[in-house]
Amino acid sequence: MPSTATASLSPPSSRRKRAASAFELRVLPRDGLGYGVALYRLDATRGDSGPAGELVIRVWGDPLSGILDQVLAAIRRAGYRSTDLGAKRRAPFRIAEEDAVRLGLLFAALKPLRKHRRIEEVARAVASMEPEEAHYWFSKVTTGPEQGRVRRALRIMVSDE
């Protein structure tokens, strides 16, 4: 049975999330057109001393503006302020795995879409997925030779196409 003194010595949860995160969200400035964001998977064995990480997916424009509230919510859960997200930001956001998986899934499913109705439908469907289901689809849409077909199948499954 842990004592209360031991419990008070543990770091705040937001600091723990940042330190244990294997994903980063980076801001991509876009020549006067605002910014985009990119999700990177970090090599957990190398930690902060390793290479820049593996690009999972990036998104900008209409798909990003359609889910900006979800991006900001993930950033806030990681211990950052909403106002930290902007075109001038250079430091990456370390985010929790579950948030990274949902954002990556959203980015992959929404990237080719332009209609706001469809963007909202897909975003609602991804938000309502159980964590296991989101991890399954994330692995399918980010790895393997059939990524494009799987992304399209996901969009068809969750929205009226």
Q: What is the pLDDT of residues 34-90, one digit of tens each?
A: 899 999 998 755 555 445 788 888 888 888 888 899 999 999 999 999 898 988 888
Q: What is the pLDDT of residues 105-140, one digit of tens each?
A: 998 888 887 888 888 888 888 889 999 999 998 988
Which range marks the domain in which residue 93 is found? 18-158
Using the predicted structure, report yes or no on whether residue 145 has a pLDDT greater than 60.
Answer: yes
Is 144 part of a structural domain of the chain?
yes
Give the angle subtended at the CA of 35 by the CAs of 29 and 40, to the nearest 5°. 80
Residue 19 makes CB contacts below 8 A (sequence gap 6+) with: 11, 94
- Total number of domains in the chain: 1
Average the pLDDT over 18-47 and give the result.
Answer: 77
Is 5 part of a structural domain of the chain?
no
